[in-house]
Amino acid sequence: MSLFDPKSYSKYVMMIFFLVVLVTSYLIVKPVLTAALTAIVLAYIFYPLFKFINKYIKKKWICSVIVFCIIFLVITLSFFWMLNTLLKEVFVIYTLGEQRLVSGNLLGIDCNANPALCNKINFMKDNLKLQYYIKEYLVKLRDLLTNSIDNFVFSIPKRLVEFIVALFIAFFLIRDGEHIFNRSRAIFTLKEHHEKSLVKQFNDTIFAVVYGHLIIALAAGVFGAFGFWLFGIPSPIFWGIVIALLALLPMIGGSVVWIVACVTLILNGYVTSGILLFIYSLIFISGLEFFMKPKIIAERANIHPIFIIVGVIGGLSLFGVIGFIVGPVILALLVTFFEIIEQEKIMIEVK
């Protein structure tokens, strides 16, 4: 028998060639991997809108162009508006904080109306050392924000390229998404019930993260900004953004911000406004965070909260902002794959 088997040789050569192509393809895709993942998430989120428009306009490419324009306008307009507003608010807060630091009246209490309370609370007035340290931290915070803005400005060309790439990939995914999904099903020859499990886990995790975390956090931020503006709290948009960011973090929430705001109003003599803001925030901010969010997640996401927490933190570190969604989805799919392997192992042992 010949030691050289042409069939085996050909098989190994093809395997090696396939691995080389696979690794090379990854290296090619790696620079735009974040953009590609962003496109997948955008396509998934806006696909229902595409299907709705497609009911009335039968040409898919026209529907895709419409959805493409909507995505572009929503993202760009909201981004530049938020950036412009946030920069103004940050410098207003810095200036106000510096003024109050010099006066020793951090909470801005009306000392003419509440002289006794003012003397008790504004302990920084004669504490020059503490004033110095806080002022140093304010300067460092301002420099940090300025440097972050500078770095962001210099990174705009790269971010712009990623954004354009993500939009174009999303365009084709929305237009040809159904065809791509069907081709993928043919490649991955999974059993039908396993395939359904993966698709369901993908849908449920994105639903939980997008609607249970992201949308609820944004809603809490909007309600917070409106409530702060309504009751005369300075820089309402900035604090609304802070509330939204804190609402994304598990077990923290935006209550830290609005409770301080209520206390500040009451200490300044606006007792009615402080109480009304407390009631408003308890219903529309904490109510969303502690009642609506768990309800949405419990109804849809069949995954332990620890995977969502780890997925969010790790995803943000690895992929940037879009990692907030991608991280939990990847971990959820990994858990589902392990469940499939476990089920198959049990079936083999039974046989």
User: For the segment 219-256, what is each residue's pLDDT rounded down to a tens digit?
Assistant: 899 999 999 999 888 888 888 888 888 887 656 678 88
In the predicted structure, residue 117 carries a pLDDT above the cut 80: no
d(CA 205, CA 212): 10
pLDDT of residue 1: 46
Query: Does the pLDDT at position 330 exceed 70?
Result: yes
pLDDT in tens, 246-301: 887 656 678 888 888 888 888 777 888 889 999 999 998 888 877 777 677 666 66
The pair of structure tokens assigned to 100 is 């109050």
* Cα 127 → chain centroid: 41
Query: What DSSP letter does each residue of 71-111 carry, written as one string?
Result: HHHHHHHHHHHHHHHHHHHHHHHHHHHHHHHHHT-TT---T
Give CA 97 to chain center in angstroms. 29
- Residue with the larger pLDDT of the pair 182 and 265: 265
Instruction: Specify the pLDDT at position 160.
Output: 79
pLDDT score for 241: 86
Token representation of residue 90: 């940050």
Q: Which long-range contacts (CB under 8 A, 24 or more apart) does 143-152 make?
A: 145/90, 149/87
pLDDT at 126: 57
CA neighbours closer than 13 Å in the CB half-sphere of residue 106: 16
The residue ranges of every structural domain in the chain are 29-189, 190-351
3-state DSSP call for residue 178?
helix
Task: Give the CA radius of gyration of the chain.
Answer: 27
On whether the CB atoms of residues 249 and 188 are closer than 8 A, the answer is: no
pLDDT confidence of residue 194: 65
Integer Cα distance of 349 and 351 in angstroms: 5
Number of CB atoms found within 10 A of residue 178's CB: 12
pLDDT of residue 43: 86
Sign of CA dihedral 149, 151, 152, 156: positive
User: How much is the average pLDDT of 143-159?
Assistant: 69
Say how many C-beta atoms besides its own lie within 10 A of residue 287's C-beta: 14
What number is the average pLDDT over the span 9-31?
Answer: 78
CA distance 159 to 171: 18
Whether the pTM exceeds 0.75: the reply is no
Looking at the chain, the whole-number percentage of residues with pLDDT higher than 90 is 6
Distance separating alpha carbons of residues 182 and 173, to the nearest angstrom: 13
Among 182, 187, 217, 181, residue whose Cα is nearest residue 44 = 181
Mean pLDDT along residues 189-218: 75
Confidence at 217, pLDDT banded by 50, 70, 90: confident
What are the start-end ranges of the H helices in 122-233? 128-154, 156-187, 192-207, 216-230
Name the amino acid, one letter, at 337: F
- Give yes or no for residue 9 having a pLDDT over 80: no
Q: Is the pLDDT score of 315 beyond 80? A: yes
pLDDT of residue 142: 66
Whole-number pLDDT of residue 113: 57
Is 221 within 8 Å of 240 (Cβ atoms)?
A: yes
